[in-house]
Amino acid sequence: VPPATTRSATAVLGWDIGGANTKASKVDIEDGRLSRPRALSVPLEMQRDSAALVPALRRLAAELRGGPVTHAVTMTAELSQAFRTKREGVGFVLDALAEAFPGEPVRIYGVDGRFLDPAEARDRPLEVAAANWAATARFVGRQVADCLLVDIGTTSTDIIPIVAGEPTVLGRTDPERLLSGELVYTGALRTPAEAVATAVPLWGGLCPLAAEGFALIGDAYLWLGTLEARDYSVSPPDGRPATREFAGERLARAVCADAEMLDEEAVGTIARALAEAQVSTVAGAIRRVSARHPLLGIAVVTGLGDFIAAGAASRAGLEVSSLADRIGDAARTAPAAAVAWLLADETARA
Amino acid sequence: VPPATTRSATAVLGWDIGGANTKASKVDIEDGRLSRPRALSVPLEMQRDSAALVPALRRLAAELRGGPVTHAVTMTAELSQAFRTKREGVGFVLDALAEAFPGEPVRIYGVDGRFLDPAEARDRPLEVAAANWAATARFVGRQVADCLLVDIGTTSTDIIPIVAGEPTVLGRTDPERLLSGELVYTGALRTPAEAVATAVPLWGGLCPLAAEGFALIGDAYLWLGTLEARDYSVSPPDGRPATREFAGERLARAVCADAEMLDEEAVGTIARALAEAQVSTVAGAIRRVSARHPLLGIAVVTGLGDFIAAGAASRAGLEVSSLADRIGDAARTAPAAAVAWLLADETARA
């Protein structure tokens, strides 16, 4: 870290700029000590509305900051269909940061744990693309040196072995991580029902699901009461409200039925089957990664879907520890809190 | 059929009003003989643009008709998320027909093979919802009395046993047909890659696909040259053109990669794996339905995905006969041609 740009800052704003949400978290540095992260999140779909990023960055920063800050950034937005390549996506995010925070120090988190300058990040997009799991893992590793991190967000799941405080993984880029099972494309909200289960119980049989994105897994959790309307941070597929009633209609539509054809019990059976299928998938993925690190006995669970992670980890025979119990609500936006904390820590030690 | 409304008509316009496309087909009646169906199709996404239905109906009718016609209608649009229930969807389509063709006779095809008046159809939405497969099956049954109809459209697949000219099925409504395997939710264009295969070969491993709808199966066929750009009748997921180059970018994105990370060979491997997975799925579904009708030795294949149906049927040990060889291009919009032909035939015999 170049001392000139960070030594004066008394706070770090951490950013996790994703394809569906942008999250910010602030860590203050006072007398060399770091505050608990404070976090905010706004829905922002990069593909539909990338022009909204600069104003969103400014608005979140204005709400959180009290004085000069250094920005610590991690991103997954570069994978959005808004960009033809990750290089283009990383460049877009860097441009937005420069426009939102002119003259302010901006540091981009790399997968290997070093913060890069924006110019370096622009040259090496694969080092900063989707490095959010690495930030969360190193942050968690400072608290639990040996554990399996299971972070289930709105859209995807990271399963990261942490050994002696360091993430110890097979994959670094997204495709490598899909191959290694360290990234599982299932989340607590945005995953379409048909990507969670191929079939659900109906009328005594097993009914395949329509491949139409009619319902999200979030509709199952909304129906079951596991998630609340305020957790449903994306627009529902049918454009109707994020209420239990409409979630039920969406679940019925997923088997090409409707509210006149299915009663509450039939809809509840579908919702429970989807929830069970997701826990089972995540448990299987945990077992696969765990098999490479049989000595890790604790799972640290976090993210909007920490309840899924807890159920799956426990089914896979691991002890469960909740990151929210350690850092509060910021656990739901763990990468933003983590990247802020990591840069603040580096700054405080400098 | 009430004679007063249809005896004067010398032509029937058949309609297949779907969730993503609206198709029309005309059959002329001259001296008691029926012409070959002539067909047109326009993309029309009910959820985004239901207000476009009335003008689309008028435009297609104006292009096809030469004089007075009777309208014969089948629909699947009622399943669209634009409508809360099938009842609401059926009502919407009936309203659009009445507005587009005031004073003209309109007959709605029911699953059991009888044409209903609009008022009857409105009262009994489950009899006319998604009855298109029944129309195609009875039309095909007039030509090949005993066969397995395999109709693969843009979005879904119908596998219908036809015995002595009549569809002989377990399911009538969409959910019943999903349960019986007579409806398979896989199509030649709109099915997301991750609904076709859970993983594809990449870098010597097997890579799970992102559950983001980044690529459609149509991108695989566009890349392989099996489908052409003009067949790609929906807007690609990333909003970019339906060309081979962009199809390749979408396929790369489906494994969270991009055109800088994957070469042509890697993309080709993904495309071929998706195509193979789809043939394998359809072949399995054909075997399941066939097992209930072991005497049916011929598959009549049709729809945009007739090439998939042919490969799958032949893999399942059936002889393949192409509907396009019998009725020409109208086979791609078989339900519209079928419903026109069936009402024209009824009229000619009256």
Q: Splitting chain B (350 residues) into consecutive groups of 10 residues, what average pLDDT does each group show?
A: 50 96 94 89 90 96 94 97 97 98 97 97 97 97 97 97 97 97 98 97 98 98 97 95 98 97 98 98 98 97 97 98 91 93 93
ipTM: 0.94
| A281 vs B: CB within 8 A | no
Whether residues B255 and A84 touch (CB distance < 8 A) is answered with no
Contact between A305 and A152 (Cβ < 8 Å) = yes
Nearest to A155 by CA among A315, A329, A308: A308
Q: Can you tell me which residue has the tokens 């460049």? A: A91
pLDDT at A137 over 70: yes
What is the share, in percent, of chain B residues with pLDDT greater than 90?
91
| A237 vs B: CB within 8 A | yes
- Looking at residue A2, its pLDDT comes to 46
Nearest to A16 by CA among A63, A49, A57: A57
Minimum Cα–Cα distance from A213: chain B residue:
B213
C-alpha distances out from residue B53 to A223, B22, B300, Å? 33, 8, 31
Contact residues on chain B for A130, CB-CB shorter than 8 A: 256
Measure in Å the smallest separation between the Cα of B27 and chain A Cα atoms. Answer: 31
pLDDT per residue over A65-109, tens digit each? 989 999 999 999 999 999 999 999 999 999 999 999 999 999 999
Whether residues B203 and A179 touch (CB distance < 8 A) is answered with yes
Top residue of B156, B158, B178, B260 to mutate, by most chain A CBs within 10 Å, is B178
Write the burial class of residue A269 (CB in 10 Å: 0-12 exposed, 13-18 middle, 19+ buried).
Answer: middle
Nearest to A171 by CA among A129, A141, A200: A129
Write the burial class of residue A66 (CB in 10 Å: 0-12 exposed, 13-18 middle, 19+ buried).
Answer: exposed
Nearest by CB to B87, which of A183, A238, A260? A260
C-alpha distances out from residue B265 to B48, B138, B221, B246, Å? 36, 44, 15, 15
Tokens of A232: 């449903």
| B193 vs A: CB within 8 A | no
pTM over 0.90: yes
| B53 vs A: CB within 8 A | no
Minimum Cα–Cα distance from B126: chain A residue:
A261
Measure in Å the smallest separation between the Cα of A272 and chain B Cα atoms. Answer: 18
Measure in Å the smallest separation between the Cα of A14 and chain B Cα atoms. Answer: 24
Whether residues B211 and A205 touch (CB distance < 8 A) is answered with no
Contact between B127 and B147 (Cβ < 8 Å) = no
| A174 vs B: CB within 8 A | yes
- Looking at residue B3, its pLDDT comes to 45
Measure in Å the smallest separation between the Cα of A174 and chain B Cα atoms. Answer: 6
Whether residues A84 and B174 touch (CB distance < 8 A) is answered with no
Question: Which residues 256-275 in chain A show a CB within 8 A of chain B?
Answer: 256-261
Nearest to A89 by CA among B265, B253, B192, B215: B253
Nearest by CB to B174, which of A238, A250, A256? A256
Minimum Cα–Cα distance from A20: chain B residue:
B212
Tokens of B92: 């919407």
Minimum Cα–Cα distance from B213: chain A residue:
A213
Nearest by CB to A253, which of B81, B250, B258? B81
| A238 vs B: CB within 8 A | yes
Nearest by CB to B84, which of A175, A202, A249? A249
Rounded to 10 deg, the angle between the A217-224 and A244-253 helix axes is 130
d(CA A83, CA A96): 14
Write the burial class of residue B200 (CB in 10 Å: 0-12 exposed, 13-18 middle, 19+ buried).
Answer: buried
Contact residues on chain A for B209, CB-CB shorter than 8 A: 185
Confidence at A9, pLDDT banded by 50, 70, 90? low
Residue A84 identity (one-letter amino acid): R
Whether residues B253 and A195 touch (CB distance < 8 A) is answered with no
Contact residues on chain B for A238, CB-CB shorter than 8 A: 47, 81-82
Whether residues B253 and A81 touch (CB distance < 8 A) is answered with yes
HEC secondary structure over A211-272: CCCCCEHHHHHHHHCCCCHHHCCCCCCCCCCCCHHHHHHHHHHCCCCCCCCCCHHHHHHHHH
Identify the bridge partners of residue B55 per DSSP, sorted by sequence position.
none
**List of residues 6+ apart from B197 with CB closer than 8 A:** B209, B273, B274, B277, B278
| A87 vs B: CB within 8 A | yes
- Give the pLDDT mean for A195-208: 97
Top residue of B212, B235, B250 to mutate, by most chain A CBs within 10 Å, is B212
Q: For chains A and B, what is the number of CB pairs under 8 angstroms? A: 132
Minimum Cα–Cα distance from B238: chain A residue:
A81
Nearest by CB to A208, which of B185, B206, B249? B185
Measure in Å the smallest separation between the Cα of A215 and chain B Cα atoms. Answer: 10
d(CA A103, CA A277): 49
| A249 vs B: CB within 8 A | yes
Nearest by CB to B208, which of A185, A206, A238? A185
d(CA A336, CA A131): 11
Mean pLDDT estimate for chain A: 95
Write the burial class of residue B57 (CB in 10 Å: 0-12 exposed, 13-18 middle, 19+ buried).
Answer: buried
- Looking at residue A6, its pLDDT comes to 44
Top residue of A90, A258, A278 to mutate, by most chain B CBs within 10 Å, is A258
Q: Can you tell me which residue has the tokens 């559950």? A: B211
Q: Can you tell me which residue has the tokens 């379409």? A: A192
Nearest by CB to A81, which of B206, B238, B259? B238
Whether residues B256 and A183 touch (CB distance < 8 A) is answered with yes
